Amino acid sequence: MIQICDDKLLIFNLLLLMSVLACETSEILTFTAHERGKVEIRCPYESGYEEYKKYLCRGECPRVFKDKVVESESAAQDERFSLNDNKSAQIFTVTITDLRTEDRGQYWCGVKTGVGNYDYNREIYLEIKHVSRVSGVTGEHLNITCHYESELKDNVKFICKGSNTSLCDKSAIKVSSENNSNGRFSLRDNVSAGVFTVNITDLTEEDSGIYWCGAVQRGQARKNKWISVIDLNISAVTSEMMSSKPTTASFHTSKPVTADTASDKTDTSSSSSLLPSSSPSVLMFSSSSANAGSPKPQQGFTPIIMMVVIGILTGLGFSLFI
């Protein structure tokens, strides 16, 4: 009887060990998002766990002292994290907004099964991509280059548009290396260089948005490998952009000196010399008026005055002599 009980205990321990190993060796769910964007981590669980607490923990997630970034029925450590449990679909979703590079790494979807019991866990890896910003002008064309690792050289390359990868999965692929062109989009794959180039012609403002460069093995739909992400901004041509002369050009252009200009300078200097040196305010006003386009003094006016003065002095001297 004791032997039978020992055998049952051994079998139970083996089954428990196998369940733990099966949990540890299950496929890691990978989610990819970009900086400043958001991601929805979907965590499926088995039937029977609907009423248990759900959580997402970061790092190794040990049995005790778990770093739970968010848990159902509790306030999150970081307001960027939120959890929603769809019990009918047996999936709880953790949403992370305003993503940062430090958010990347290992996470675990967990179901709290009670004290002394192993929680139901599923390993998650979150990948955060840096965003490359590209600008263009309506009516023009541009190239988007996507560099990839050598292990992807035999995969189908593609580019699609979507604020996150889940939306990109559902949207139509703009162009792929299988068809090479799709309307205004065309793709050229340089396998030896490990880069494919997407050309977009006749750009429109509607082309603006987030684009994902990706690769996938043939026949492996929905298992995309995300390579890079581009934020494309297309702006319309404005009159300022079309103008070849900057608005400040007049401040950097010299006007050729003509005979009239030289005469103007001479006359202005002469008239200024007639003003008393004790009236600086008048001098400033005169200079300002000249620059504002005041009437020019008539040519020959100064010599006439000098001749009149000389004549008067000569007459006075002659009268004194007499």
Q: Which two tokens stand for residue 207?
A: 């082309």
The kind and range of the H/E element at 127 are strand 120-129
Q: How far apart are CA 62 and CA 55, in angstroms?
A: 13
Residue intervals in the chain for CATH 2.60.40.10: 22-129, 131-240
Any idea what the Cα angle at residue 119 is, between residues 118 and 124, rounded to 5°? 130
CATH code linked to domain 22-129 = 2.60.40.10
Which CATH number is 131-240 given? 2.60.40.10
Alpha-helix runs per DSSP H in the chain: 2-24, 165-170, 239-242, 259-273, 280-291, 301-321
pLDDT in tens, the chain (322 residues): 445 455 544 444 444 444 444 444 468 889 999 999 999 999 999 999 999 999 999 999 988 888 999 999 888 889 999 999 999 999 999 999 999 999 999 999 999 987 667 788 899 999 999 999 999 999 999 999 999 999 999 999 999 999 888 888 777 788 899 888 999 999 999 999 999 999 999 999 999 999 999 999 887 766 889 999 999 999 997 656 555 444 333 333 333 444 444 444 444 443 343 333 333 333 333 333 334 444 444 555 566 777 766 777 777 666 665 5
DSSP track, 18-76: HHHHHHHTSPPEEEEEETTS-EEEEEE--TT-TTSEEEEEETT--SSS-EEEEETTS--
Rounded CA separation 153/61 (Å): 36
Give the SS3 label for residue 303.
helix
Q: How many CA within 13 A on the CB side of residue 274? A: 11
* C-beta of residue 230 within 8 angstroms of C-beta of residue 208: no
Helices and strands, number each (H, E), in the chain: 6, 17
The DSSP letter of residue 275 is S
What is this structure's pTM? 0.64
